[in-house]
Amino acid sequence: MERLVLSGAGGFLGSAIIRKAAELDIKIVAITSRPQEIKNVYGNTCDTLETKKILDGSCEFCRKDVFVNCMFPTNADGYRMADGLEKVFQMMTAAEEGGVGAFINISSQSVYASQRTQPAAEGDPLCLETPYAVAKYSSEAFCDQVFHGKPHTNIRLASLLGVGYDQRIINRMVDQALKGNELKVVGGMQRYGFLDVRDSAAGIVKMAMSDSGNWKQVYNLGRMESYTLIDVVQTIVSEMEKRGLAASYAVKEGTDTRNSSINAERFMKDFTWKPVITLEQTIGDIIDKKIED
């Protein structure tokens, strides 16, 4: 790999990938609509390129460059989704025409059925139950079409966790616990395949550094373990107590049986990678940051 080229560089996952690549002294080109903000945060650890310059096809790449696409439309409404998917397609086309050597597209475990009884494997039937899932699968189809005959893959990510990702249920529960509110759990047997964003970034960067000629078309990236919602609230309470803070929860009956667990054995085997950050550590870091702020 000559350089790591990254779209969506200012997002939650993109930022983690920049930090991991910089830690390994990998040359980074961060594609973003806010290049000055990236420079202010990361300084000389990466070069920046404005998104619009990629979309108009005015950039050239090296065949040894690996492009990681974290760019994805917001899930706000149908108009933005359509416009965003068009930009994703333009981004991929520009990367291919610009000569990039290999392409990694970030997709999601949401393309699998949400009521699965076993962790989803790459060969399982797809079940596109939400507009988000449809859009993610569309990005996979774009990737396979644009990079047909060239090294590429689609990464179906587990549900990411980490400091600052406040849309996630764990972050919201920590907020409530820190306010002294009892955590309310309905059902409690919902099962989640969470992954700390730092582990995700480490896996993606390791893959980017590997021989792209050996990549498979699709990989799940996540933990082999999964957690019920009761596991989650118990961990929050435990981590709060370690910090001398009181927290409690109550469970009510419910019928929600969603399951976002995935089988990531293929990725772990092909890239000799395993996650190292526990759920306890992630939740502890979220708590500490919120206390600090």
146, 96 in Cβ contact below 8 A?
yes
- Give the E-state strand segments of 8-142 in sequence order: 28-32, 47-50, 66-69, 102-108
d(CA 222, CA 157): 6
Q: Looking at the predicted structure, is the pLDDT value of residue 157 above 90? A: yes
φ/ψ (deg, to 5) at 9: -65, -20
Q: What pairing do the DSSP bridges indicate for beta strands 159-161 and 152-157?
A: unpaired
User: What global pTM score does this model have?
Assistant: 0.95
Query: Which domains are assigned to the chain?
Result: 4-162+194-223+263-276 (3.40.50.720)
Interatomic CA distance for residues 231 and 169, integer angstroms: 13
CB atoms under 10 Å from CB of 76, counted, come to: 9
pLDDT in tens, 16-43: 999 999 999 999 999 988 888 888 888 8
Q: Which residues of 203-237 are buried (b: 16+ CB within 10 A; e: fewer)?
A: bbbebbebebeebeebbbbbbeebbbbebbbbbbb
Half-sphere exposure at residue 125, Cβ-oriented, CA atoms within 13 angstroms: 6
Per-residue pLDDT at 196:
98
Over residues 218-237, the mean pLDDT reads 96
Helix (H, G, I), strand (E, B) or coil at 222: coil
pLDDT, tens digit (0-9, with 9 covering 90-100), for 38-91: 888 888 889 999 998 888 877 889 999 999 999 998 767 888 889 999 999 999
